[in-house]
């Protein structure tokens, strides 16, 4: 439930006392951001249960990469809240500090998704976007 490792990218959760840390890992920053978004969904439900039925497009810029991750996750949280949907597939393209993305998912089905928590927001806690030896990570703690 809390870790899905596979080629080329993966996501994981890390512990925070009251809430949950999410981390996306990938060969590129695009992939790390997409994986972080799956980790976000996984705090609510099992991402593989979320079908691809509708999509949302996002396009915005932020002052730096870490704020870009904060804004990316909060944009998804906002779309999930107002559309009552969950996302499971993401295509992300980042150029400097501009993000263009499409997110696919479906409306919440409470019986099938068994949503565990509602995410209030992504936070600056443990917020980090970095590349080491060709591997990118994108992480922060989310408030649930």
Partner 1 sequence: MDLDDLTQSSEYTWRLEPRGRMRVPVIIYGDRDLMAGMDDKVLHQAVNVAGLPGIVTASYAMPDAHWGYGFPIGGVAAFDADQGGVVSAGGVGFDISCGVRTLRTGLKLADVEAKKSMLADALFEEIPAGVGSTGRIRLDDRQMDAMLSGGAQWAVEQGWGNADDLERIEEHGRMEGARPGAVSPRAKKRQRNEMGTLGSGNHYLELQRVSEIYDPGAAKVFGLSTGDIVTTIHCGSRGLGHQIGTEFLKDMAQAAQQHGIDLPDRELACAPIRSSSGSNYLGAMRAAINCALANREIITHLTRQVFAEVLPQAQLELLYDVSHNTCKLEPHVVNGETRHLYVHRKGATRAFGPGHPDLPAVFSEVGQPVLIGGSMGTASHILAGNSGNDVLSFESACHGAGRSMSRRRATKTWRGRQVQDELAERGIVVRSPSMRGIAEEAPGAYKDVDAVVDAADRAGLARKVARVTPVVCIKG
> Is there binding between residue 131 and partner 1 (CB under 8 A)?
no
> Which of 44, 68, 47, 58 shows the shortest CA–CA distance to 127?
68
What string of DSSP letters covers the chain? --EEE-SS-EEEEEE-SSSEEEEEEESSHHHHHHHHHHHHHHHHS-GGG----EEEEEEEE-SSHHHHHHHHHHHHHHHHHHHTEEEEEEEEEEETTEEEEEEEEEE--HHHH-------EE-STT-EEEEETTEEEEEEEEE-
At its nearest, how many Å lie between partner 1 and the CB of residue 117?
A: 5
Give the count of alpha carbons within 13 A of 80, CB side only. 25
Among residues 8, 61, 125, 128, which is the contact residue for partner 1, using CB under 8 A?
Answer: 125
Which residue, 8 or 130, is less far from partner 1 as judged by CB? 130
> Is there binding between residue 112 and partner 1 (CB under 8 A)?
no
Which residue, 109 or 131, is less far from partner 1 as judged by CB? 109
Which residue, 44 or 137, is less far from partner 1 as judged by CB? 44
At its nearest, how many Å lie between partner 1 and the CB of residue 134?
A: 27
> Is there binding between residue 124 and partner 1 (CB under 8 A)?
yes
Binding mask 56-95 for partner 1 (x = CB under 8 A): -----------x--xx--x--xx--xx-x-----------
Residue numbers at the binding site for partner 1 (CB under 8 A): 1-2, 13-20, 44, 67, 70-71, 74, 77-78, 81-82, 84, 107-110, 113-118, 120-125, 127, 141, 143-144
């Amino acid at each position: 439930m809390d870790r899905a490792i596979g080629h080329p990218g993966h996501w994981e959760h890390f512990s925070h006392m009251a809430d949950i840390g999410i981390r996306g890992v990938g060969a590129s920053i695009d992939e790390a951001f997409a994986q972080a978004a799956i980790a976000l969904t996984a705090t609510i439900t099992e991402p593989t249960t979320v079908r691809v039925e509708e999509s949302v497009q996002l396009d915005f810029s932020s002052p730096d990469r870490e704020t870009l991750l904060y804004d990316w996750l909060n944009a998804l949280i906002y779309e999930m809240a107002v559309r009552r949907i969950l996302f499971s597939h993401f295509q992300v393209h980042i150029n400097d500090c501009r993000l263009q993305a499409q997110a696919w998912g479906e409306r919440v089905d409470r019986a099938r998704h068994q949503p565990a928590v509602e995410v209030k927001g992504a936070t600056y806690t443990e917020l980090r976007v970095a590349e080491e030896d060709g591997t990118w990570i994108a992480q922060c703690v989310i408030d649930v």
